[in-house]
Every structure is written in structure tokens, then in C-alpha cells.
Amino acid sequence: MQLTLTPLLDIPLIKPGDDLASIILLALQRAGISLEDGDVLVLAQKIVSKAEGRLVNLSTVTASSQAVELGGRTQKDPRLVEVILRESNAVLRTRPGTIVVEHRLGFVCASAGVDHSNVLGEGDQLEDWVLLLPVNPDASAQSVRQRLESASGACLGVLIIDSHGRAWRLGTVGMAIGLAGLPGLEDLRGQPDLFGFRLQITQVGVADELAAAASLVMGQAAEGTPVVHVRGFPYALREGSLGELLRPKEQDMFR
């Protein structure tokens, strides 16, 4: 098996309304890459959110009493807390500087994915712009996938990733928040191990594994490489969704 991840260079700064599929096709052409069956394109969440206009200026936000109280406890701007609350199903944990929530999409993350970094809006209050996650990342991935497949004639997967922390380890890693055309979870139960014993519990979060690998190539700061072309993904492409990766609440021992 050989897995090749190639960052696509010279992706421009994305603005609301930009056509991501066309931008990716041009970047592939510059890189000399022709799409083939089984290829996967991994997109950083930020460019998807920016193209979809998911920017909010905090100067337009009025904080609720709940946001003011929670902002005081966590030492965060109550307007930012209000945006976080609007994007959340529930607040799970807090401490000064941190708010951990169940995002409206069902996964657990800090600050509901609302982010200041690498976000630039318009007007006089540039520091007040924040970026939200896409409304429906699976649908966003599917839209880009359909455009790329139509242009190339290849059977492809598209993965949208973001950087998340984990309850039991330090550091952020790339994780899938939306996917189309590839599995999120591969169930290996019943398959033999090296000694012929049948696996009993092994399920592999293959979309998250690929997200982490692509995140290494993208970088986390000013690298400007928000799209990665993947060849050699070692699982068959199929229809998939984020829901495959979400642990049911009754099985979540960290809540």
C-alpha cells in the first residue's frame, strides 16, 4: 500500500460566494494531477465556511443574559459566547478560557468550532469577525464532490476537516466534520487477526485517520494549503456521512 498526500498550492484567499470546485480544479491542473477513481480531496473547514459566508461580526451580536453569565465565568467576550451558544445543543464543560459544547451537528468540541484565527472580514472592526462551521458539512462535501466528479469523470471522495481536541489527550488533531463518497467508519468485526482469531470490537474511524494525515500536510498556522489531494486511500469508496463517527450519548463515558 502506498498513500500519497499532495497539498495543492496557490489556493487564493477564499471569499463568500467563491466556487471551491473550480478553484480546486485549477489547482489540480497547475499541480499536473489528473483525478482518478478512488482519489480523495481533503478540504480545510475554513475555506468551506468562508465560501458559504459563515462569517459573523461580533459588533452585530447582542449577548443574552446566559451569554453574559457564562462569559464572566469563562473570561470570554459575551458576544462570542452568544455565538457559541447559538451553534450548540448543550454546554458540557467550562473553565476560564474554555467552553466545551455539543455542537448542533452532534459532536463535542470547544467553542462550537467558532474561530478567530485566519479570519478576515470587511469594515473597520476587523478584529471582531469570527467564522462558524458550515451549516451542513456533509452537504457541502457532496456539492464539491458532484462538481469534481462531473468535471473529471472519476469516482471521488471529499472530506472536510477541522482541528479538534480530545477528552483524554493533549493537543489538537485533524478530524472529519463532513464527508461524501468515502466511509467514515470501517467495521472490522468478524475479520481474522494475524493468528486467525476473529476481531470482536474493532471499528476504525478511517475518515478521522485520513483527516489527521491531511492536517499534517496542511499545517495549522500560515501555510496557506487548505486542500490536499489523496491517492491510495486503503478503503473502498462508498456513500458515507459524519453520523457514522458520532458515539451515541449512552455510550459516551466522558459526559
Same domain, 145 and 122: no
- Percent of the chain scoring above 90 in pLDDT: 80
User: What does pTM read for this prediction?
Assistant: 0.91
The beta strand positions in the chain, using DSSP E, are 4-7, 40-44, 55-57, 88-95, 98-103, 108-110, 129-131, 157-166, 169-180, 186-187, 203-204, 227-231
pLDDT in tens, 196-209: 666 565 678 999 99
Task: Give which of 113, 110, 121, 101 is closest to 137, Cα–Cα.
Answer: 113
Residue 179 belongs to some domain of the structure: yes
Q: Which residue has the cell 467552553?
A: 99
One DSSP character per residue, 200-240 reads: SS-EE-HHHHHHHHHHHHH-SSS----EEEEE--SS-----
Task: Provide, rounded to the nearest whole percent, the portion of the chain with pLDDT above 70.
Answer: 88
Q: Which residues constitute the domain of residue 207?
A: 4-52+134-246
**Do the beta carbons of residue 97 and residue 106 sit within 8 Å?**
no
Per DSSP, 234 falls in state: S
**Amino acid at position 139, single letter:** A
Judge whether 59 and 129 are in contact, CB under 8 Å: no
User: 97, 131, 165: which is the final residue of a domain?
Assistant: 131
Q: Does 223 have pLDDT greater than 90?
A: no
User: Per the structure, how many domains does the chain have?
Assistant: 2
pLDDT band at 93 (very low <50, low <70, confident <90, very high): very high
- The CATH number that applies at residue 21 is 3.30.1330.100
Is the pLDDT higher at 120 or at 38?
A: 38
Q: pLDDT tens for residues 139-176?
A: 999 999 999 999 999 999 999 999 999 888 999 999 99
Instruction: Inform me whether the pLDDT recorded for 24 exceeds 60.
Output: yes
Beta-carbon count within 10 A of 42 CB: 29
pLDDT at 237 over 90: yes
Same domain (yes/no): 242, 146: yes
**Residues 44 and 155 both lie in one domain:** yes
pLDDT for 255: 76
**pLDDT averaged over the chain?**
91
